[in-house]
């Protein structure tokens, strides 16, 4: 019987947390939709974009290759 007030308080806190999380997710989805519209990207086009880490790795590799090529050109 002593647990009932605690459970009630926990239940209320959980409900508040779920409501906040739902509102946050809806806000994020709205922002994504607005940005897609602003950039005129369809959801399929956005899904086709490479993940940022893959793009960063590719750019770092290209940078290393170009630096090596630049050094070689300087030696010549």
Give me 63's structure tokens: 């940078």
Which whole number is the average pLDDT over 45-74? Answer: 88
Confidence of residue 26 (pLDDT cuts 50, 70, 90): very high
pLDDT over 60 at 2, yes or no: no
Backbone CA torsion sign across 57, 61, 62, 67: positive
> Are the CB atoms for 36 and 42 separated by under 8 Å?
yes
pLDDT tens, 38-53? 788 777 877 787 778 8
């Amino acid at each position: 019987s002593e647990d009932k007030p605690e459970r009630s308080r926990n239940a209320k806190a959980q409900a508040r947390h779920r409501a906040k999380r739902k509102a946050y997710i809806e806000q994020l989805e709205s922002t994504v939709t607005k940005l897609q519209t602003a950039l005129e990207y369809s959801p399929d086009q956005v899904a086709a974009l490479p993940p940022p880490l893959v793009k960063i790795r590719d750019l770092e590799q290209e940078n290393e290759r170009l630096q090596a090529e630049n050094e070689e050109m300087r030696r010549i």
